[in-house]
Amino acid sequence: MAIRKIVNKSDPVLHCKCKPVEKFDERLHILLDDMKETLAKAQGVGLAAPQVGIRRRAVIIDIGEEESEMIELVNPVILKRSGRQRDVEGCLSCPDEWGYVVRPAKCTVRAQDRNGEFFEMHLEGLACRCACHELDHLEGKLFLELVDEFVELGDEA
Ligand code: NI
């Protein structure tokens, strides 16, 4: 495994739509393992492939509940969203920028695992917020455009 460089918001890779993952091969597994290590080192809650310069639909979320198992979502789609939550978000690609974003309170995500098997997950709270944020990265969208109120430095989100 290796730590990959997290690109900054000015990098064009963060502003375009990512392509689906088509090959569930060793190369994907290395990417996912590297993303996990990179996320752990950065102490974030989520990381999308374009943030390490790869224009493919893969994200890692660390929901940080009892087991700090990170979840790999390949080609994820949100099937259902409900409710509303407003809280402070940040992004590893936008250091020192924080702001309030409204997200669904709960969502159901369908994705593939590293071997291409489909599964569904029900997420709520921070995990739901994190998944929504990371999935936006796959569309080339940054949380900054959703912020309704910027806040001074904090360590939330
Ligand atoms: Ni982000």
Regarding predicted confidence, which is higher, 19 or 152? 19
Residues belonging to the active site: 134
Residue 120 is predicted with a pLDDT of 98
Would you place residue 55 in the very low, low, confident or very high pLDDT band (cuts 50, 70, 90)?
Answer: very high
pTM: 0.94
Per-residue pLDDT, averaged over 67-88, amounts to 93
Tell me the CA–centroid distance for residue 91 and ligand 1, in Å.
4
Would you place residue 90 in the very low, low, confident or very high pLDDT band (cuts 50, 70, 90)?
Answer: very high
Residue 67 is predicted with a pLDDT of 55
Tell me the CA–centroid distance for residue 27 and ligand 1, in Å.
23
Per-residue pLDDT, averaged over 17-25, amounts to 98
Which domains are delineated in the chain?
12-151 (3.90.45.10)
Residue 155 is predicted with a pLDDT of 53
DSSP secondary structure string for all residues of the chain: --PPPPPPTTSGGGGSPPBPP---SHHHHHHHHHHHHHHHHHT-SEEEGGGGT--BSEEEEE--SSS--EEEEEEEEEEEEES-EEEEE--TTSTT-EEEEEE-SEEEEEEE-TTS-EEEEEEEHHHHHHHHHHHHHHTT--GGGG-SEEE-S----
pLDDT in tens, 124-143: 999 999 999 999 999 999 99
Least confident of 33-47, 54-68, 107-121: 54-68
Tell me the CA–centroid distance for residue 117 and ligand 1, in Å.
25
